[in-house]
Amino acid sequence: MTSLDTSAVRWRAAEVSAPRLGRPVPVIVARDIPYRPDANRFQNLSIYLPVTPETSAMIGAPVVSLPDSGPDPARGLVHVHGGAWRDPNLTARSIEPAVAHAFSAAGDAIPLRAVASLNYSLSPFPTHPELPYEPATAEHPDPAREAVHPAHVRDVLHGLDLLRSYGLADDSYVLSGHSCGACIAFQAILRSPRDHGLDAVPEAPRPAALLGLNGLYDLPALVHGLGASHQHLRDEYAMLLGHAFGTDQSRWPAASPARFDPAGIGERVRRGRAPALVVLDQSSEDHLVPMNQRETMEARLREAGVPRVVTGHRCTGSHAAPWEQGHMLWDSVQDTLRLL
C-alpha cells in the first residue's frame, strides 16, 4: 500500500456539466492528486463527490480518505479515459459529463458515493494538430509524453493503490474504461502486475465489475484485422501502436487483453483477483473501432469461464460520444450496478 502524503490537496466546491443537462451540477472535488512521489503532470487522479451535508463539511479539508460507503457494495466508480494512449487534450476531466448525470439526482437517489478518474503518462504523438511531440526531435524533453507499455498500466495501478489507501476495497467499486482506457483497465485487472513485468507494483483492489466502452482489446487486429469499414485506419493504428507498445509487432499479442491466456484469466477470477462480472458496450456506429474488438474480447472472457459476461447496449453514435455526452457512460454504469 502506498504511503504517499497527499494531504496538501484539499476538497473544494465546483460544478460539472453535460450537454443534455440544462444547468451545471454542484459537486465536491479534489483534482490532480499525485499518486507517485515523483509524479509528472499526468500521474494524478481526481475524485468527485455528490453534495451532501457530510461532503459539504469536507470543503477545505485535506484529502486523506474517501467518504464511508457504508454496508452497500460497489458505491464507487473508477474510470480510465481514452485518447489512443497519447492525446494530451483528453484527460481525467473527460468523466465530468457522466459525473454531472450521476450526481444530478438528490440524496439517496444517487447510487454512487464517489467517482475517481485517473490520468496516466502518455505515449508520443508526433502528428498531434496542436501539441505534437516526438522525443527524438523535441527541443525540450517531456517524460510525461514518452510512455511505452507497460508504463500506462503501471500508472493506473499506482493510482488504484493510492485509492486503496483512501479506503477503496475489494468489490467496493466498478472499474470502467473508454477506448484505450478500457484496454488499460483490463490489462490492470485480468493479469497480475508481475505478468506485465511490474514486480514492484501492488495488485489493484478487486473491482466488483469491469466495464469497457468502445474498447481496444486486440492490438494486432487494429492493424491486420480492421475489416473493410475501418481499413483506412490501418496506417494510423500502426503508428500509434508503435509509439505506445513498440514497433516490434511480435510483442503486441502479449499486451492484448483479448489474447491473454484464458486459463490465467479464469484462475484470477477463481482466486478473487478479477471480478466475476464484465460488461462490454460498443457502438455499432463507431467510426474508429470495429465491432470485432468487442466480439473477440467477449469470446476470450467466455473461454476463460468468467461467470457473467454481458453485452451492453448503451453506446451509440461516434467513438467519443459516450464520454462527450455523459449519459451513455452513466447509463452503462447504472446497468452494471443493477447487475451486481
Residue 1 located in a structural domain: no
Residue 80 located in a structural domain: yes
Cell of 75: 458505491
Q: Cβ of 270: how many Cβ atoms within 10 Å?
A: 11
Residue 234 located in a structural domain: yes
SS3 (DSSP) at 177: strand
> What's the pLDDT score for residue 67?
87
Domain span including residue 137: 12-339
> What's the pLDDT score for residue 70?
59
Q: What is the CATH number of the domain that holds 331?
A: 3.40.50.1820
- What is the enclosing helix (H) or strand (E) of 48? strand 44-50
Residue 6 located in a structural domain: no
CA distance 33 to 45: 5
Q: Render the burial of 8-44: b for 16+ CB within 10 Å, e for the rest.
A: ebebeebebebeeeeeebbbbbbebbbbbeebbebbb
CA distance 294 to 257: 11
Residue 271 located in a structural domain: yes
> What's the pLDDT score for residue 74?
80
SS3 (DSSP) at 114: strand
Residue 5 located in a structural domain: no
> What's the pLDDT score for residue 107?
61
> What's the pLDDT score for residue 106?
67
Q: Along the chain (340 residues), what's the average pLDDT of each consecutive run of 10 residues? A: 78 98 97 97 98 95 85 86 98 98 81 96 97 93 97 98 96 98 98 97 97 98 97 98 98 98 98 98 98 98 98 98 98 96
The domain total for the chain is 1
- State the virtual CA torsion across 282, 284, 287, 293 in degrees, nearest 10: 50
